Structure 1
Amino acid sequence: MTERLITHLRHVDLAVPDYDKQLEFYTTMWGLEPEIAEDGLAFLAAAGSPEQYSVRLRRAEEKRLDLIAFGAATSADVDALAERLLADGVTLVTRPERLQTPGGGYGFRFFDIDGRTIEVSADVAVRRHRKVEEGEAVPVKLSHVVMNSPNPEAAVAFYSKHLSFALSDTLMHPRMGEMMWFLRTNRFHHSVAIARGPHVSLHHASFEMRGIDEYMRGTGRLLRGGIEKVWGPGRHMAGNNTFSYFLDPHGNTVEYTTELEVLDEDSWHPHLYDFSDPMVTDQWGTANPMEEFVARKSFNDPDRGCFVAPPV
């Protein structure tokens, strides 16, 4: 594996037809803070995160995943990664340049193998953040993003070869074969995962809560608010993290989680978990069964933004 130049996940950017409804959901219900919200563009921060924002919403005629952004340690690493991708024939959307988004920085964008726009940046100003207090049921940070792919083996190979992500674990089913791959770019069990799906789309975006109590309080707030629950509450085996999945107003799945496993990368060996075993999907046995309803909701709508860079 080549040198790992990506350090962490920064933010996920969504294009949404009903911008006002989405903004209301992600602030009032989900618990993100609007750093900037004007002219149909909102940058929403997680209270405990030094990242300038964890979610960007953009008003658009059609729903899509605009981009997924990652961090690098230095501008030199940004340049090195861009050169590496160019040499490997990866399509760059932009060359490394100064960024005009909140916090500035230096970065570039490219298409992954499925046509998603990916951004990598360094030297972004640290946001003034705070310690999330006991009982506060608001996201601490963006934890991970899971993507659907009709050719997940190729997508996993792309992220492993070009971006040096490492495989943590894989989910399989006796009839369907391997179905989900968990990939890490630091010691956390996964920053991204690739799921086998019928089309390219966002599977879900996950947000870390302070602890179990805050995770359950947040889950309860959404249930009382009438937000459609897809799956949970429970605890996965792969990653050992808690999960409660809900749908935002445009049908994107978003998750509250906590206690994602931190690995010793020198000694870790990936598992192949059979998710027909109920203990694999939910160690607690408290969530609704992992069946067709959950899978169908997680497929999301086909992303029509593939190989089309977002306008901002």
Structure 2
Amino acid sequence: MTTLQTTTPARLLYLHIGSKEPQRQIDFYERLMDLSCTRYPDGSAVLLGPQRAVRLSPADRSGLLAAAFSLGNTEQLNRLRERLEHQGCATLDTQSPLLADGAFSIRDPQGRETLFGVPSELIEISREGMPGRLQHVVFQTTQLEAVIDFYVNTVGFSVSDNVVDPESGQLMVCFLRSDDEHHSLAFFRGSQDEWDHHCYETQEWNDIRDWGDRFAKEHITLFFGPGRHGPGNNLFFMVVDADRNRLEFSAELQTIPAGQEPGHWPQCEHTLNSWGRAWMRS
């Protein structure tokens, strides 16, 4: 089967976030995430740091507007677009200061927007700051099966792990990869459709400590963790930004070879945090 991992590997490049109070968000990401801000005439801003970026726009409500994935080159990007259109997935030309010409967007069955493109020169500039590469984005959904079918069978993500209710056998969480890393996208079954969190992958456990110390100096309490996830086997903790969006910091995320059969985990606290208590979405 043709997948992103085997033919057109993609990595999460940046998030486009909407905010009712964008200046508060800018202050947070500049101060705590080592991002530098460039403002645009339309009121939007781009914040750039080492291997992470945020595009921020004023909005009626705060939340995620789009997630952008990067491909290695224009040839891979065009190949992906051709395959998506062959699968009956509508693609739309899009422009972004963080993507080179030729970028496009798609929408899933619930309207979430995903961009694909080659990084622009702006995002390729080397920048200093604490290690934390933007690595994955996660959602809650009321239509889990339909969403997973779209991302796997139309877009080409691969399933790394499934989490199922041990009594009913119902799928509760699905972790999807677009390259060798365990997941760049995941979905939880929820009572509403919302952005769950996004994650920054650090280099080692000591980086987790250092990020925790940085938030502690600002009296920002950890939302979840520290702990270790079962699926992905990564160390982690979570905090919230100025709009209460959830950020995860991770280390040692598992890699998965192409073609490996998905793992299966029971829905329980130990699966989501083998060290102790977990944040259970449903």
Counterpart of 2:30 in structure 1 is 27
Q: Cα RMSD over matched residues? A: 2.4
Counterpart of 1:295 in structure 2 is 281
Residue 61 of structure 1 deviates from its aligned partner by: 2.3
Give the secondary-structure state (helix, strand or coil) at the position aligned to 2:281: helix
- Say which of 119, 126, 129 aligns to 1:129: 126
- Aligned: 1:72 with 2:65: no
Counterpart of 2:16 in structure 1 is 13
Residue 64 of structure 1 deviates from its aligned partner by: 3.1
* 1:13–1:68 Cα contact (<8 Å) kept: yes
Residue 107 of structure 1 deviates from its aligned partner by: 0.7
**CA 1:100–1:224 in 2, change beyond 3 Å: closer, same or farther?**
closer
- Aligned: 1:163 with 2:155: yes
Counterpart of 1:173 in structure 2 is 165
* 1:203–1:253 Cα contact (<8 Å) kept: yes
Counterpart of 1:301 in structure 2 is none
CA distance in 1 between counterparts of 2:59 and 2:44 reads 10
Residue 100 of structure 1 deviates from its aligned partner by: 4.4
Counterpart of 1:282 in structure 2 is 273
CA distance in 2 between counterparts of 1:72 and 1:117 reads 17
Counterpart of 1:230 in structure 2 is 223
**CA 1:272–1:103 in 2, change beyond 3 Å: closer, same or farther?**
closer
* 1:106–1:124 Cα contact (<8 Å) kept: no
Residue 74 of structure 1 aligns to which amino acid in structure 2?
N
Question: Which has the higher mean CA deviation after the structures are superposed, 17-26 or 114-123?
Answer: 114-123
Residue 107 of structure 1 aligns to which amino acid in structure 2?
A
Runs of 5+ consecutive residues of structure 2 not aligned to the other structure:
none
Residue 37 of structure 1 aligns to which amino acid in structure 2?
R
- Aligned: 1:271 with 2:263: yes
Residue 159 of structure 1 deviates from its aligned partner by: 0.8
Query: TM (normalized to structure 1)?
Result: 0.80
Residue 41 of structure 1 deviates from its aligned partner by: 2.0
Residue 272 of structure 1 deviates from its aligned partner by: 0.9
Residue 89 of structure 1 deviates from its aligned partner by: 3.2
- Say which of 84, 91, 103 aligns to 1:107: 103
CA distance in 1 between counterparts of 2:97 and 2:70 reads 14
- Aligned: 1:214 with 2:207: yes
Residue 123 of structure 1 deviates from its aligned partner by: 5.7
Q: Deviations over 1:49-104 (max 9, x none)?
A: 2xxx5221112222232111112233233333333333433333x23x6x441453
Counterpart of 2:113 in structure 1 is 117
CA distance in 2 between counterparts of 1:203 and 1:277 reads 17
Counterpart of 2:45 in structure 1 is 42
CA distance in 1 between counterparts of 2:105 and 2:27 reads 29
CA distance in 2 between counterparts of 1:54 and 1:170 reads 29
CA distance in 2 between counterparts of 1:64 and 1:128 reads 27
Residue 153 of structure 1 deviates from its aligned partner by: 1.2
* 2:159–2:177 Cα contact (<8 Å) kept: yes
Residue 228 of structure 1 deviates from its aligned partner by: 4.3
**CA 1:46–1:238 in 2, change beyond 3 Å: closer, same or farther?**
farther
* 2:173–2:186 Cα contact (<8 Å) kept: yes
* 1:32–1:139 Cα contact (<8 Å) kept: no
Q: Deviations over 1:117-172 (max 9, x none)?
A: 1111126336122686xxxxx34310111111111111111111122111101122
Aligned length: 276
CA distance in 2 between counterparts of 1:208 and 1:89 reads 34
Residue 41 of structure 1 aligns to which amino acid in structure 2?
S
Give the secondary-structure state (helix, strand or coil) at the position aligned to 2:148: helix
Percent of aligned pairs with the same residue? 25
CA distance in 1 between counterparts of 2:3 and 2:200 reads 28
CA distance in 2 between counterparts of 1:193 and 1:3 reads 16
Residue 281 of structure 2 aligns to which amino acid in structure 1?
A
CA distance in 1 between counterparts of 2:133 and 2:23 reads 23
* 1:36–1:43 Cα contact (<8 Å) kept: yes
* 2:135–2:199 Cα contact (<8 Å) kept: yes
Residue 233 of structure 1 aligns to which amino acid in structure 2?
P
Give the secondary-structure state (helix, strand or coil) at the position aligned to 1:174: coil
Residue 124 of structure 1 aligns to which amino acid in structure 2?
S
- Aligned: 1:154 with 2:146: yes
Runs of 5+ consecutive residues of structure 1 not aligned to the other structure:
133-137, 297-312
CA distance in 2 between counterparts of 1:117 and 1:103 reads 15
Q: Deviations over 1:267-289 (max 9, x none)?
A: x33211114252x222334xxx1
